[in-house]
Amino acid sequence: MKSPIPDYLSGIMDSCAADVSGERAAYIPELAAADPDRLAVALCTVDGVVYAVGDADAEFTIQSISKPFVYALALAERGFSSTLDKVGVEPSGDAFNDFSLEPDTGRPRNPMINAGAIATHSLIGEPGAGAEERQERVLAGLSAFAGRRLEVDERVFASELETAHRNLALAHMLRSYGIIEDDPVEVVRGYTRQCSVLVTVRDLAVMAATLANGGRHPTTDVQVISARVARQVLSVMTTSGMYDAAGDWVTTVGIPAKSGVAGGLLGALPGQVGVATFSPRLDKHGHSVRGVQLFRRLTDDMGMHLMEIPSPGQAVLRKVRTFDGPHGSSMVFQLQGRLGFTTAEVVAREVVEQAPTTDRVIFDVELLYKVEEVGRVMLLEVCRRLSLEGREVILLDSEGVLPNPVPGSGATLKVVTSREELIGLASADQ
The mark string for 31-70 relative to ligand DON (x by CB under 6 A, - otherwise) is --------------------------------xx------
C-alpha torsion sign, points 85, 91, 93, 94 = positive
- Binding-site member from 200, 210, 240, 259 for ligand DON (CB under 6 A): 259
Cβ nearer to ligand DON, comparing 164 with 396: 164
Cβ nearer to ligand DON, comparing 247 with 400: 247
**Is residue 177 left, alpha or beta, with left meaning phi > 0 and alpha meaning psi from -120 to 50?**
alpha
Report helix, strand or coil for 193.
Answer: helix
Contact region with ligand DON (CB under 6 A), list: 83-91, 197-205, 254-262, 363-371: 254-262
Contact region with ligand DON (CB under 6 A), list: 8-16, 256-264, 377-385, 402-410: 256-264
- Binding-site member from 8, 71, 96, 363 for ligand DON (CB under 6 A): 96
**For 216, phi and psi rounded to 5 degrees?**
-95, 125
The DSSP result for 56-110, as a single string, is TT--EE-GGGHHHHHHHHHHHHH-HHHHHHHS--S---S-TTS--B-TTT--BS-
CB of 280 to ligand DON, least distance (A): 12
114 is an interface residue for ligand DON by CB under 6 A: yes
Contact region with ligand DON (CB under 6 A), list: 224-232, 255-263, 346-354, 375-383: 255-263
Annotated catalytic residue within 261, 347, 382, 393: 261
261 is an interface residue for ligand DON by CB under 6 A: yes
Residue 71 annotated to the active site: no
The mark string for 152-181 relative to ligand DON (x by CB under 6 A, - otherwise) is --------x------x--------------
Query: Cβ contacts of residue 279 below 8 Å, gap of 6+?
Result: 38, 39, 40, 263, 288, 289, 290, 291, 294
Q: How far apart are CA 214 and CA 226, in angstroms?
A: 7
Helices (H), 149-304: 154-162, 165-176, 184-195, 201-212, 227-240, 246-252, 289-302
Q: Are 197 and 140 in contact (CB under 8 A)?
A: no
> C-alpha angle 35/40/42, rounded to 5°?
150
Question: Of 298, 293, 299, which is closest to residue 19 (Cα–Cα)?
Answer: 293
Residue 382 annotated to the active site: no
Annotated catalytic residue within 41, 50, 53, 67: 67
Annotated catalytic residue within 8, 51, 71, 243: 243
Contact region with ligand DON (CB under 6 A), list: 119-127, 257-265, 340-348, 379-387: 257-265
Q: Is 167 exposed, middle or buried (0-12, 13-18, 19+ CB in 10 A)?
A: buried
Pairing of strands 392-396, 413-416: parallel
Residue 27 annotated to the active site: no
Cβ nearer to ligand DON, comparing 192 with 232: 192
Q: Is 314 exposed, middle or buried (0-12, 13-18, 19+ CB in 10 A)?
A: exposed
Cβ nearer to ligand DON, comparing 55 with 244: 244
Cβ nearer to ligand DON, comparing 98 with 160: 160
Helices (H), 241-339: 246-252, 289-302, 312-315
Q: Which secondary-structure segment (H or E) carries 198?
A: strand 198-199
Cβ nearer to ligand DON, comparing 159 with 232: 159
CB of 207 to ligand DON, least distance (A): 15
CB of 188 to ligand DON, least distance (A): 9
- Binding-site member from 97, 122, 210, 238 for ligand DON (CB under 6 A): 97
Residue 243 annotated to the active site: yes
Annotated catalytic residue within 8, 51, 71, 191: 191
Q: Which secondary-structure segment (H or E) carries 342?
A: helix 341-354
The mark string for 281-310 relative to ligand DON (x by CB under 6 A, - otherwise) is -----x------------------------
For ligand DON, the binding residues (CB under 6 A) are 63-64, 96-97, 114, 160, 167, 195, 259-261, 286
Residues designated as active site: 64, 67, 191, 243, 261
